[in-house]
Amino acid sequence: MEGHSLPRSEAVGRAKGSANRVRTNARVVTALGARSIRQTFRRPQLMAPIVVFPTILLAIQTGGAGGAVELPGFPPVQSFLQFMLAGAMMQSLMLAGNSGGIALAVDIEMGFTDRLFAAPISRYAIVLGRLAGTAALGLFASLWFFAIGLVFGAEIAGGVPGALLAIALVTVTAAAVGGVGAAIALRTGSASVVQGLFPLVLVVLFLSSAFFPVELMIEPAKTIAEYNPFSFIVEGVREPIVSGVDATDTAEAVLAIAGIVVIGLGLSARALRHRLRAG
């Protein structure tokens, strides 16, 4: 395209080129993101389990294990519900990540992604677009559980800033988990495999501080939960609700999320390379 151009205009041309690419990719991410968000909210029967199932579990566990607040060593909370909100949000975002992975796997099975890969757009833009839907679902879940909490009398100790922080953390984590789900989808190309990982979601949650204070858990779950990155994220979401915004907890949560993002990106990159090579 640049035939015999002078060095300076060539440099300008290159800069223009990469600026164009960024714009194009941004457009792609927006378009695919809008599509994935539309897909998610257009089919409520698929969305419902992601929010309804954790809500039912929240209700049952609050009613069933609520007496735990009396246990010596239980952190000071206004109510067990207040304690559990973060765990319920965690559950929702994990399910959202799993379902985002399933959606991508379905796209792959249907050949939609092949069309995208054949286009001159960044591979990562494609995955990022998908994750936008997952993040939106995470956002929705956090708002939902805040609403439930408020309706049933739970106080948000950190006030509005605390709530916003929690919502932000949940949304970003949903995308991060979605990235891992996407990586699995890219690697296996099979929706039923990704779906089969749903029990794993439960396992990871049970082995974290999502449902109970780590100090009071039973070994060996206790030790695993102490080192589980998801525990840090849960605490980062829980603190603003239960006591107030804490810099350390927030930082630990952000680090944990970053770790998951890195893992998700790494796995996605490998899976993409493998998929594009294998065809």
Partner 1 sequence: MEATAALPAWRVNLATIGALMSRAKNELLRVPGAAIPGVLAPTIFFLGLNGVFGALTQLQGFETGAYESFIVPVSMLQGAGFTGAAAGVNMARDIEQGWLDRLLVSPAPRWVLLAGTVLAASARALIPATFVFAIALPLGAGWPGVDGLLVTFFMVAAMAAVAACWGSMLALRFKSQSAAPLMQAGMMALILTTTAYAPLALLQGWLEKVARVNPVTQVVEAARQGFVGGVSWADTWPGLLALAGLLLVLGALALREMRRTGA
Residues near partner 1, by CB under 8 A:
45, 49, 52-53, 56, 59-68, 70-72, 80, 199, 202-203, 205-207, 211-212, 216-218, 220-222
Residue among 80 and 230 whose Cβ is closer to partner 1: 80
Residue among 179 and 235 whose Cβ is closer to partner 1: 235
Rounded least distance, CB 261 to partner 1, Å = 26
Residue among 3 and 199 whose Cβ is closer to partner 1: 199
Rounded least distance, CB 206 to partner 1, Å = 3
In the block, which residue shows the tokens 């239980």?
Answer: 74
Rounded least distance, CB 265 to partner 1, Å = 29
| φ/ψ (deg, to 5) at 73 | 100, -5
Closest residue by Cα to residue 51 from 128, 130, 143, 132: 143
Residue among 149 and 264 whose Cβ is closer to partner 1: 149
Rounded least distance, CB 73 to partner 1, Å = 8
Task: Give me the torsion for CA of 3, 5, 11, 17, rounded to 10°.
Answer: -30
Rounded least distance, CB 150 to partner 1, Å = 17
d(CA 245, CA 112): 43
Task: Give the torsion sign (CA, 12, 17, 20, 26).
Answer: negative
Structure tokens at 221: 């779950």
Residue among 11 and 48 whose Cβ is closer to partner 1: 48
Q: Among the residues of the chain, which ranges form H helices?
A: 7-42, 44-65, 80-110, 112-118, 123-151, 159-188, 191-196, 198-206, 221-227, 229-242, 247-278
